[in-house]
Amino acid sequence: MRDRSKKNKWYYSGNEVEIVGNYKYLGITFHRNGGFNKHWMETKKKTNAAVEILINTLVSTKTNNIDIILRLFYSL
């Protein structure tokens, strides 16, 4: 597959626009091909970390109250 970024040049107000592989805008990572795979992988990683912290907190505090557990989970 050819790398079109080296062939095509884009300009804005007379300045060349840099072609990048990914760009994060308003917290969403966009890939130059229009895909969101990198964004989903980053989101999944952050979600897993948050759930792990929540579980560790619940285990360490020995919380048995289901209302508290659900409120904390839904706050993620």
- pLDDT per residue, tens digit, the chain (76 aa), is 455 556 788 899 999 999 889 989 999 999 888 888 889 999 999 999 999 999 998 899 888 888 988 888 888 7
Q: Where along the chain do its domains lie?
A: 4-75
Give dist(CA 35, CA 6) in Å, integer: 20
Its pTM stands at 0.59
Q: Which helix (H) or strand (E) holds 18?
A: none
Q: Which helix (H) or strand (E) holds 13?
A: none
Give dist(CA 62, CA 71) in Å, integer: 16
- Check residue 2 and give its pLDDT: 55
- Check residue 4 and give its pLDDT: 56
Q: Does residue 38 contact residue 22 with C-beta atoms inside 8 Å?
A: yes
Q: Does residue 25 contact residue 31 with C-beta atoms inside 8 Å?
A: no
- Check residue 51 and give its pLDDT: 92
- Check residue 72 and give its pLDDT: 85
